[in-house]
Amino acid sequence: MSYLLALDQGTSSSRSIVFDRDGHIVAMAQREFRQLYPQPGWVEHDPRELWDSQRATAQQVLARLGAEARAIAALGITNQRETTVVWERASGAPIYNAIVWQDRRTEPICAALRAAGWEPLVQDKTGLRLDPYFSGTKLKWILDHVPHARSRAQRGELAFGTVDSWLIWQLTGGRVHATDVSNAARTLLFNVRDNRWDEELLRVLDIPAELLPAVYPSSHPYGEVAAGVLGEYGPRGLPIAGVAGDQQAALFGQACFRPGLAKNTYGTGCFMLMHTGARFQPSDNGLLTTSAAQPSTERAYALEGSVFVGGAVVQWLRDGLRAIATSAEVESLAASVPDAAGVMFVPAFTGLGAPYWQPQARGAIVGLTRGTTVAHIARAAVESIAFQSAALLQAMSRDAEAGGAGPVAELRVDGGASANNLLMQFQADLLGIPVVRPQVIETTALGVAYLAGLQSGVYRSLDEIAALWRQERRFWPTLPRSQAEALMARWEHAVRQATAP
Ligand SMILES: Nc1ncnc2c1ncn2[C@@H]1O[C@H](COP(=O)(O)OP(=O)(O)O)[C@@H](O)[C@H]1O
Ligand SMILES: O=P(O)(O)OC[C@H](O)CO
């Protein structure tokens, strides 16, 4: 029996999961770490805590397996994307905290670059936008603000990495400085058409090339875990064989390998990705183009849209309004009324992401009457997750049609909030296509386990992996299309109210 170990370094916790060859979970451990908010709009992690928490969970699952840990054929790494770490090559010490993807401090840098007319070039080469979300301006900020950082970088003394590179460095005892295409694609520095760091973009952002990691396919022999790093049960010479950004890993774990196959992850935010095949396809509808996980040197792309506040709206009901005690309770509260009675909730707490890109928007609850109860607000909150996701899928479908792909036939779902049946049914009703939940919703970790398994010979083909995908439940649309369209029109009206100056 071959096992695969996936390290999933997420925004709020580090997880390690061991899968068997059929994609079943054998052991799992999770640990949270501190979120640091040094100033409004700033979000940081301590890179040492990311590594310590990740290592601790890996050691925990290995200890749980004991002698069976020897059956682990390979290790895969998947991670929160864009988050930026710079460290000293000699000592391995970070020179600044990790600047997290949510951090907005580099908006002035982005605004200056937009004003100088760089956005079309950036979009054409990277598929991204000039937004603080991505690594490039975060790296520039560190080089601009940490004393001597740029000159030290030019002398080759420093290393930059997204979280995958940081973990690879630690796991290999500082021997390997590398990343994969799906992570490099989120930096603003990587030309996703040619799969290489782009000299012109490096010049525009004033980034010395000496900082950059080597870029490999998502299935690749990255190196071996150094002796002792994973404790007494760490298998000797364990190969790091798969690396991918978490959303691309989830697309892979959902077996979306062909154009038109799409998944939506319902976590704190929502991330919808649709595979678009081997051709770079720009979006005309406010989405990003990104590299999908690439198990070989063959190109693979996806369209991506992110909703900033997804399951987080439920956390707000819990912690802000104190309307529920646990996130799961929202389902019964929302189900206690037949509908939201005309209430629309636009949870634009931190602006709106794709396809609206309205950083100044703020939350709005509209359509209140004397009859409105907390149950209606809870229902509208749950529905807002589906409305935002439906707007993404509409944009994606328009792009897919323009690119010659057929319509999206079904939406595969995962993430914590995909457990909410009411939400999933409403999603299917709005979309007019089936919403399909797999048996394993840890698809991020599963995806990178598959990538590592392809490299290490546990799997021989994508078909073999696709055959392992198992449906747990399918939600069929039941609402007449005219009613769904009327609801979407009311949603768009509410969005306009939330974005009005
Ligand atoms: N039954 C539920 N209905 C709606 N939202 C839920 C439910 N259970 C969890 N959530 C939300 O899902 C999110 C957690 O999902 P998870 O996939 O663990 O997120 P992340 O990976 O972003 O930390 C939280 O925002 C939580 O409020
Ligand atoms: O860590 P998650 O699951 O919130 O995902 C974060 C994304 O990768 C950010 O782009």
Best residue for ligand 1 mutational test, from 81, 263, 271, 327 (most atoms within 8 Å of Cβ): 327
Cis peptide before 501 (omega within 30 of 0): no
Say whether pLDDT at 167 is over 90.
yes
97-106, 167-176, 212-221, 243-252, range with the lowest pLDDT: 97-106
Same domain, 201 and 300: no
Residue matched to tokens 């590179």:
165
Q: Is 15 annotated as a binding residue?
A: yes
Phi/psi of residue 482, nearest 5 degrees: -60, -40
> Do residue 224 and residue 293 come from a single domain?
no
The Cα 442–Cα 17 span in angstroms is 9
pLDDT digits (tens, 9 = 90+) for 321-342: 999 999 999 999 999 999 999 9
Q: Is the pLDDT of residue 501 over 70?
A: no
Ligand 1 probe mutation, 266, 345, 442, most atoms within 8 A of CB: 266
Angle formed at CA 90 by CA 89 and CA 92, multiple of 5 degrees: 65
Taking the CA of residue 310 as reference, the ligand 1 atom at the shortest distance is: 25
Q: Residue 247: which region, alpha, beta or left (left: phi > 0; alpha: psi -120 to 50)?
A: alpha
Residue 254 DSSP label? T
| 280 shares its domain with 224 | no
Residue 279 has pLDDT above 90, yes or no: no
Phi, psi of 339 (to 5 degrees): -160, -175
C-beta of 10 in contact with ligand 2 (< 6 A): yes
Using a 6 Å cutoff on CB, does residue 314 contact ligand 1? Answer: yes
Quick: pLDDT tens for 422-455. 999 999 999 999 999 999 889 999 999 999 999 9
pLDDT at 284: 87
Q: Do 208 and 265 share a structural domain? A: no
- Among the bound ligands, the one closest to the CA of 424: 1
Distance CA 259, CA 456 (A): 26
CA distances for 24 relative to 17, 133, 173, 441, 449, angstroms: 10, 34, 30, 11, 11
Considering Cα of 61, then 67, then 71, then 76, what sign does the dihedral take? positive
Which ligand 1 atom is at minimum distance from the Cα of 414?
17
Q: Would you say residue 205 lies in a domain?
A: yes
Residues 259 and 233 in one domain: no
Task: Report which secondary-structure segment, H or E, holds 27.
Answer: strand 25-32
Residue 451 within any structural domain of the chain? no
Whether 244 is covered by a domain: the verdict is no
Residues 264 and 123 in one domain: no
Is 416 annotated to bind ligand?
Answer: yes
Q: Judge whether 133 is annotated as a binding position.
A: yes
| Max CA separation in the chain (angstroms) | 67
pLDDT at residue 35 greater than cutoff 80? yes
Q: How far apart are the first and last CA of the chain?
A: 61
End of a domain among 237, 271, 305? 237
The kind and range of the H/E element at 398 are: helix 374-402
Domain edge (last residue) among 206, 237, 268: 237
Domain count, the chain: 2
Q: Are 47 and 39 in contact (CB under 8 A)?
A: no
The whole-angstrom separation of Cα 440 and Cα 266 is: 14
Residue 5 region by backbone torsions, left for phi larger than 0, else alpha for psi between -120 and 50, else beta: beta
Pocket of ligand 1 contains residue 307 by CB under 6 Å = no
Report which ligand 2 atom has the smallest distance to the Cα of 269: 4
Per-residue pLDDT at 275: 93
Å from CA of 211 to ligand 1 middle: 36
**360 lies in which domain range?**
255-438+470-501
267 pocket-lining for ligand 2 (C-beta < 6 Å)? yes
CB of 304 closer than 6 A to ligand 2?
no
Return the residue matching tokens 């970070």: 94
Q: How far is the centre of ligand 2, averaged over its atoms, from the C-alpha of 80 (Å)? A: 4
Q: Mapping DSSP to helix (H, G, I), strand (E, B) and coil, where does residue 7 land?
A: strand
Nearest CA to ligand 2 atom 5: 80
Q: What is the pLDDT of residue 498?
A: 86
Residue of 278, 262, 273 lying closest to 303 (CA atoms): 273
Residue with the smallest CA separation from ligand 2 atom 10 is 81
C-alpha distance from residue 144 to each of 132, 138, 210 (Å): 15, 10, 16
* 210 SS3 class: helix
Same-domain pairing of 209 and 108? yes
Q: Is the distance from CB of 421 to CB of 38 less than 8 angstroms?
A: no
Average pLDDT over residues 338-358: 91
- Residue 247 annotated as binding site: yes
- Residue 246 Cα, ligand 2 centroid: separation in angstroms? 6
Q: Residue 351's Cα: distance from chain center in Å?
A: 18
Q: What is the pLDDT of residue 258?
A: 87
Return mean pLDDT, the chain. 94
Q: What is the pLDDT at residue 399? A: 87
Task: Confirm if 109 and 120 have CB atoms less than 8 A apart.
Answer: no
| Distance from the alpha carbon of residue 230 to the mean position of ligand 2, in angstroms | 25
Domain holding 338: CATH number? 3.30.420.40
pTM: 0.93
Q: How much is the ipTM here?
A: 0.97
Q: Please report where in the chains the tokens 């390998």 appear, as a residue.
A: 257
The answer to whether 449 and 6 are in contact (CB under 8 A) is yes
Q: What is the DSSP string of 302-371?
A: EEEEEESSSTHHHHHHHHTS---SSGGGHHHHHHTSSS-TT-EEE--BTBB-TTT-BTT---EEE---TT
Q: Which atom of ligand 1 lies closest to the CA of 10?
A: 21
419 lines ligand 1 (CB under 6 A): yes
Residue 499 lies in a domain: yes
Q: Find the 435 Cα to ligand 1 centroid distance in Å.
A: 18
Which residue type sits at 124? D
Q: Indicate if 319 and 419 belong to the same structural domain.
A: yes
Tell me how far apart the alpha carbons of residues 40 and 77 are, in angstroms, rounded to a whole number: 31
pLDDT band, very low/low/confident/very high, at 358 (cuts 50, 70, 90): confident
Mean pLDDT calculated for residue range 93-98: 98
Q: Is the pLDDT at 343 greater than 70, yes or no?
A: yes
Distance CA 245, CA 293 (A): 8
Q: Which helix (H) or strand (E) holds 447?
A: helix 443-455
Closest-CA residue, ligand 1 atom 5, reads 417
**Ligand 2 pocket check for 247: Cβ under 6 Å:** yes
Distance of CA 318 to the CA centre of its chain: 24
- How far apart (Å, rounded) are the C-alpha atoms in residues 32 and 280? 36
**In this structure, are 263 and 156 located in the same domain?**
no
Give the end of a domain, one of 237, 271, 300. 237
Tell me the CB-side half-sphere exposure of residue 424, using CA atoms within 13 A. 26
Paired tokens of 172: 């290999």
User: In this structure, are 20 and 160 located in the same domain?
Assistant: yes
Where residue 402 falls among pLDDT bands split at 50, 70, 90?
confident
Percent of residues, the chain, with pLDDT higher than 70? 99
Nearest to residue 183, comparing CAs of 258, 294, 48, 47? 294
- Looking at per-residue pLDDT, the higher value among 404 and 139 belongs to 139
The verdict on 294 and 196 lying in the same domain is no
Determine if ligand 1 sits within 6 Å of the CB of residue 246. Answer: no
Indicate the SS3 state at residue 493.
Answer: helix
**Position 256 pLDDT exceeds 90:** yes
- Cβ count near 227 (within 10 Å): 10
Q: Indicate if 173 and 309 belong to the same structural domain.
A: no
Tell which atom from ligand 1 comes closest to the C-alpha of 266: 17
Q: Does residue 461 sit within a domain?
A: no
Is 247 domain-assigned?
Answer: no
Asked whether the predicted pLDDT for residue 359 surpasses 80, the reply is no
Inform me whether the pLDDT recorded for 1 exceeds 70: no
50 lines ligand 1 (CB under 6 A): no
Helix (H, G, I), strand (E, B) or coil at 469: coil
